[in-house]
Each structure stands twice: as structure tokens, then as C-alpha cells.
Structure 1
Amino acid sequence: MSNLLSRLWRPRRLLLVFVVLVVAVLGYTQRWLGQGLYWFDERNVSQSQRDASIWLPGYRAVIQAKPLADLDDDEPSDLTYNPESKTLFTVTGMDPQLVELSLDGEVLRRIDLIGFSNPEGVAMLSNGNMAITDERRRTLSIFKLSPLTIELRAIDTQEFDLGFADSGNKGFEGIAWDPAQQRLLLGKERSPTAMFSWSSDGTAGLEGKMVPLPSDQLYMRNLSALSVDPRTGHSLVLSAQSKLLLELDEHGQPISFISLYGGMNGLHKSIPRAEGVAIDEQGTIYMVSEPNLFYVFRKEPESPEPATAEVPAS
């Protein structure tokens, strides 16, 4: 009987393996095809549209793989820019902290996050308000940050439940405030990779419920971080596993992208695991990668059109 069962199970096992392989190949193929569509769509963007967008193909790495001092084992995640202090903030998950950085990647301040479990996302709101997402606790915490803050207790923040109780370690990693549309953007890492919005004026309150956004054009293996450009209102969507940074317009349509592989956009080596992105009012893009690396991208000035020599009249 056991031999018979073994003979019956063998072809089914082979079929199962085949199906798994097909699904995996199709998944990766779809994402590569999707990125091919991004590239094709970029070719059809007019110059006026490029001028009104971030236009990522014009960026080059000017600081790359700079170690963040004393953050070797802390795994910095996400990044946000504070226009008032002209500094950056990231969060760490191994030892929950909010860390303030200079614009060239120097550690300025550490703030202990007491009662937080696995902070993954951070966003600067308005008037000194800040938001942090805790992936393990599935919460969004909003609080007032001052220059003198040295510790923050979760119990002292305004907390909101993000749902997805069964998401485990695949919850919300991306968060950004969109002042033009008065909303928070939230990104779920995977299973599924998706984006949501939640009405907010940038203070401690949220209005209504979290609303899903169209995410069928996010050809990414995961979603690591979000940021909103204060000049154009366009969004930056970062994927560590796909090594991709994507620009979406105010309607959520892809506009441009860059690859984070070595040899692309001035990168000497691939970014190992990009976990956070931020953009300032000048359009400079900042990025952090695990284990503790810091990057800066700036847009290269466009070369002027060559002058056309005048032909003398005969």
C-alpha cells in the first residue's frame, strides 16, 4: 500500500513544484515587464511634463554608501525631512529610536522610543507634529516633536489602529504627509503591496478612514518607503527588493523611475537594501539603506542646446 501511495504522490509532487516555479517566474517576469513599461512611458513624457515633475532620470548619486556612525546594528528604516530644522529623521527597529541626521548623514540626536516594538515608518507633518508607524503593533502614532525631546513614550502619543491583524512582518512601512492634498500616504510592504490615504491636516487628528489607492501599477516586490515632493506634489515610492525608486504624479500615475543597481545614476555599487527616502524643498533626494548606509542624489543641470550657427546671407 505504501508503495502505491508513493507512486501516486510522486507525480502530484512534481506538478506542485512545477506550479510553484511557474508562479514565481510569472511574478518576477511581470515586475520586469512592468519596469519595462515604466521605461517605455518615460519616452513619451513631454519636456513640459518633465519640467513639472521630479524627473528621476536626471539625478546622480553625490554621496553614496556613507556609514551612519554608531548605527551598525540598529537597522535604520525610513527617512523624513524636517523643513524647519533642515535635518532628517530615521527610525531604528532593533533598538527602537528616532534618530536625527544632518543633510550629509551625521548623527545629531537619538530619541528613545519607549513602548514601541518595531518602528518602520516616519513622517514629518506640520507645526512640529510627526508620525511613526509600528509594523509589529500595527499602529500609527502622532506626537509633537520639540528640539529638546530626548525620549518618547507610545502611551503619550495619539495612536490609530492600521488593521491587517494577520500581516505579521508584512505590514505598513511607508508613510508620508501630502500637504497639498491634506492626507497621509501609507504603504503596505507586501502581501499585498498596496498604498492607502488617510485625510489629515498635518496635526494630531485624522479624519474618516484609511482609503485604498489604486496600486495595480506598482510593479514592485515590496514597498519600503514613501515621500512627497513639496514642489510638485508628486510621490516617491521606494522598493528595497526591486532596487527601484518610482515617481507617481498627484493622480498616482507613474512618471519616472531610477534603478538602484550599481552603474546606474552614478552609483558605484548597488544599494544593498534601501529602506528610506526623503526629498527637500530644493529637490535633493536622501536615502538610507540597511545595515547603516546613507546616500544623497542631486539633479544634474541640463546641458544647454547647442547654438545654431547663422549662415551669412549671400
Structure 2
Amino acid sequence: MFQKRKCCNSILIISAALVLILVCLSYWFDWDDKAYYRWMDWHASDAQKESAIWLPDYRVDVQALQIQDVDKNVSGITYDYDNDTLWIITNQPQELIELNMTFAPVRRILLENFSDTEAVAYVGNNTFVIADERDFSIVVAPINAQTKALNRKNLRFITLKQGGSDNNGLEGLAFDAKAKVIYAVQERNPLKLISVTGLVEGTQGVAVGVPAHIDINDFNLDDLSGLHFDAKTGHLLLLSDEAKLLAEVNNDGHAVSYFDLEAGFNGLHEDIPQAEGVTLDAQGNLYIISEPNLFYRFTKTSP
């Protein structure tokens, strides 16, 4: 009887050890996430994929590239489709920096009398919107070939005090050019997706709301650090640094695809350390920037 009980105890100990090892391996190698993405890819039809950005099809071709002459505090990115350039924003120093499509800076614009510049989005006609995090403001910033500096005191803006602490304010901006809607995300406490109409056009009666069709808490994001609206699909990309995740959300408010920012996913050799901004260019290439000054580009593979 004693030997039998001892044998049973040994089996239980070995079984528990095997379960623990499998849990640890799953944690370190993200087998659960990889299995989920594989399942999602298998169960989506070709029509569903073609109507989406479809993040599982992207593979990194530029990773952890240090941006030339930028040392720290890169906090947002947008694509200028009128001039085929990329723009990044930094918060110390507070600057807009234009990059060519090989990621070299071509000019810098000083941002004067801003408090904490965290995000930028191109809205067309050589005009941008800038998020000033600490005072929950969105600023409209027209730029021409001669612009060297922008003084917030001379620009149109709106302040959105939606709750949250001063350092957990606006972290991402996007623009739907067809509907003329600015989308903004509040980082945390609480997570929030905000819509603004009328600001870009400068009309009276600017409207601020929360899109009723999207529940921002449905997507398992620990924070919100970046945002992009894709005109081709009408879908939003929601970026979370802490969750190490990029989510694609359709215009019905449902997540249709995901993108993990950890090593082993989509060709990444290492985790993206602090993802702060996301955008797509005219060819559908995907860009993510990460503090302090790292650049990532992902291209879509053929089905």
C-alpha cells in the first residue's frame, strides 16, 4: 500500500512539473497567441481578408532602425499622401520632423508654446492635427514650404478634458478624410476613443463625442499609444505599447485581425520596446515607431 501511494505521489509530482513546464514554455514562446492567430487566419475567408488590412499578412523588412539625428522621445508618426513623405513628432524637444521614404530627415519644424506633443495625423491640404497630451488639446497646424516654426498661440485648437490624469491624456490621432472626423485616443484611466467633427474645417459648433459603435474595452488592450484610420477599408488600427499589440477594428466595431509586437511574430527578431505610433502609406506598407528613436516597416506578403 505504501509503495502504491508513493508511486501515485510521484506521478502527481511529475504531472504537475510537466504542466508547469508547458505553461512556462507557452509564456516564453507565445504558443497560445500563435495558435490563435493561425486559427484566425485559417477561419477567415478570402473575401474577409481582402476587405481588411489583415495584419497577419505583414512581415517586417526594416526593424529597430535608429532615426538619423533623432536621439529620443519620438512619440507619433503619420504619412503625408500629398507629398509622399513621413512625419514624426517628438516631445523633448518639441518638433515635427519630415522624413523621406528612406527614413532620412529632410526638415524640422519647431513647435512653440506646446506642453507635451504626443501624436500627429495628416488631414490633407498640407495640414496636420497635433495632440498636446497634458492639456488634452488637439491643434490644427497648416504647414507650407516656408514653415520653420509653429506657435500654438496662433493656431486653432480644441481642449477635450475627458477625465484621466495629466500624463495619461491624448496619445494617438487619426483622421477620416471622407467623413471629416478626427479620432483621438486617451491612453488610460479610462481608455477612451473620442471623435471630433468640425475642427479641421474651422466651422462653428465643433462636436465632440464617443463613437457608439466601438467599445474600446473589447480588444484586450492595456493602454492606447497610437492610432491610424485606413481610408481604403474604413478600419482603425489601435496600438497598445503595454499589451504589445496592434488591433484592426472594422466599422462595425469588431476586431478583425491582430498583430503581436513581440519577438517571433511577423518576422520580428526582438520585441518592439515602446511602440508609440502607427501609420500606413499609399502602398499599404505599415510603419511603427518606438521610443527612444526606433523605426519599423512591415510589408504585406502575397496570399
Q: TM class, shorter-chain normalised?
A: 0.7 to 0.9
Deviation string 1:201-255 (CA, Å, 9 cap, x unpaired) is: 8434473223354212131111011011121111111111111111111222101
Q: Is the 8 A contact 1:229 1:280 kept in 2?
A: no
Alignment partner of 1:122 is 2:120: yes
Change (3 A) 1:197 1:121: same
Amino acid at match of 2:272: I
Query: Are positions 1:150 and 2:148 aligned together?
Result: yes
Unaligned runs of 5+ in 2: 1-31
Q: CA RMSD in A?
A: 2.3
| Residue number in structure 2 paired with 1:281 | 282
Who is 1:98 aligned against?
Answer: 96
What displacement does 1:126 show?
2.3
* Counterpart code for 1:281: A
Distance, in Å, in 2 between the alignment partners of 1:216 and 1:40 is: 23
User: Residue 83 of structure 2 aligns to which amino acid in structure 1?
Assistant: S
What CA deviation, in whole Å up to 9, does each residue of 1:142-180 have, x standing for no partner? 121112211000001101011136521001111100123
Write the distance in 1 (CA, Å) between the matches of 2:33 and 2:202: 37
In the TM superposition, what is the alpha-carbon distance from 1:42 to its structure 2 partner?
5.3
Q: Residues of 2 paired with 1:247 and 1:39: CA distance? A: 16
Match of 1:196 among 194, 218, 229: 194
Shift of 1:36: 8.7
Q: Does 1:140 align with 2:141?
A: no
The aligned counterpart of 1:69 is: 68
Contact 1:126 1:202 in 2 (8 A): no
* Contact 1:142/1:204 (8 A) holds in 2: no
SS in 1 for 2:97: strand
Displacement over 4 Å in runs of 4+: 33-43
**Distance in 2, Cα, partners of 1:88 & 1:274:** 17
Tell me, in whole angstroms, the C-alpha distance in 1 between the residues paired with 2:227 and 2:103.
19
Normalised to the residue count of structure 1, the TM-score between the two structures is: 0.80
What's 1:294 paired with?
295
Asked if structure 1 preserves the Cα contact closer than 8 Å seen for 2:172 and 2:185, the reply is yes
Q: Which residue of 2 aligns with 1:29?
A: none
* AA partner of residue 251 (structure 2): E
Return closer, same or farther for 1:186/1:36 CA change in 2, 3 Å cut-off.
farther
Which residue is 2:168 aligned to?
A: 170
> Which amino acid letter does the alignment assign opposite residue 257 of structure 1?
Y
Unaligned runs of 5+ in 1: 1-32, 303-314
> CA–CA distance in 2 between the matches of 1:282 and 1:139?
31
The verdict on how the C-alpha distance between 1:166 and 1:56 changes in structure 2, with shifts beyond 3 A counting, is closer
- Equivalent-residue separation in structure 2 for 1:40 and 1:162 (angstroms): 40
CA distance in 2, matches of 1:259, 1:282: 22
Aligned 8 A contact 1:100 1:107 in 2: yes
Q: Residues 249-264 of structure 1: matches in 2 within 5 Å? A: 249-264=250-265
* Percent identity for Structure 1 against Structure 2: 35
Describe the SS at the equivalent of 1:122.
strand
